[in-house]
Chains A and B, each alone.
Chain A
């Protein structure tokens, strides 16, 4: 029973040349490495991670998955991501603990409901299950919900999205690392990238604190640090603001919440984990920073918002509180681009707080992009030049800076 435990993936020697180097051992990096090896036969790949895999957003998100975004371009991508969880669970031979509990978004006024009508229409057009519900139906879905006139923002209706749910994020990190390493990918933890070498408009190498790696292809999948690295190494600026985003869990409780519940008005979402804790997240810090500090300001906000929606949680204690980084773009849609203007340099960033739910499907298409050198059709709307051409994506009204006013 207490036999010697086996490593999920072997330690690999650091080579001086690889066919592809991925900066960032988060979910996007690991997924891209996995699909490069699985679909394109590119197995000579190094994933370079400064800390340990899953240190950043991959291990700090609140594990929610869904496909009820707003735009035509986003919904098919997230739908495919949802469909991938059961497939990958089998393929990786690793229980990703996909709990298909469905998501309920609350509306507290006619304007929100109107926006939801559009979202539901888009979802149904793309074959994604999503429907409007009235307060009584909200209460049937979540009996603990207060639908009376007591809260400051009473429940006016909602959008129910049955295909969503939660996935154990650490399991995805470990499963993908195991699957990628099994196919020959080298994962180098505790290795910092110090520069990207280019020559005549092409990527030629990556500098690390463990030596220089020669490579024709580099993917910048450094999450919250991607924009800073892009500017520091290549003088390429990105339309990104990096903000700390906080989340917390309560003490474990008996099962009371069968769905992910969220409210944009209260800036609050919550779900009950399989351990019984209520995991809840908040809006981002009001100014850009790389601190990943937690603040008393948000604990107070979160306690107030959560107990307005679910009054039975009054008096329940928060047990843990942590923070990660969100790299926000002005249109709340990611940037996936590459091979232009620097041949062989690819970027996958600007995911904000959508990086977890999109990770596997993005890995699949970024791998195709890197293997063939041509942007797959599904990723074309996410190219960087949309900002120059005034074709922002409309996931939200365009915002130049992030603040609580937004």
Chain B
């Protein structure tokens, strides 16, 4: 199965139109009292979950929107939410 992603503007499109933007790591850490450890954690560290993860995508060959969605890394398919199985 090849990946399709749901762009909030264009709807379901072929995965190759998009660029992966990394795991969703929450808000950017506050600059005040930021330690190198926290910054490294935010910039470099990943959960690498074998399962559903929330992640960023960029519609590179489309409308240019940045958005988050859920995908199961074991199947490579988008899911409806954090707890759901991949769409078929």
Contacts and interface: CB of A to CB of B under 8 A. Distances in A.
Contacts of B73: 242, 288-291
B62 interface: no
A200 interface: no
A231 B48 contact: yes
B44 A287 contact: no
Given A228-B48, A231-B48, A240-B48, A290 B43 contact: no
A388 B20 contact: no
Interface residues of A, number: 29
10 contacts: A238-B46, A238-B48, A286-B15, A289-B76, A291-B76, A297-B2, A390-B36, A401-B20, A401-B21, A403-B19
B83 interface: no
Interface string A380-391: 000000011110
A287 B22 contact: no
B72 to A, nearest CB: 9
A157 to B, nearest CB: 31
Given A238-B48, A288-B20, A390-B36, 5 more contacts: A297-B2, A330-B44, A387-B44, A400-B22, A400-B43
B30 interface: no
Nearest to B58: A403
Interface residues on B, range: 20 to 34
A393 to B, nearest CB: 13
Interface of A: 225, 227-228, 231, 237-242, 286-291, 293, 295, 297, 330, 387-390, 400-403, 405
B47 interface: yes
A403 B43 contact: no
Interface string B39-83: 011011111111000000000000000000001011110000000
Given A293-B76, A387-B40, A286 B19 contact: yes
Contact of A227 (B36, B41, B46, B76): B46
B48 A241 contact: yes
A387 to B, nearest CB: 5
A389 B37 CA distance: 9
B46 A287 contact: no
Contact of B46 (A225, A237, A286, A291): A237
Contact of A237 (B15, B20, B21, B41): B41
Given A295-B2, A400-B43, A287 B48 contact: no
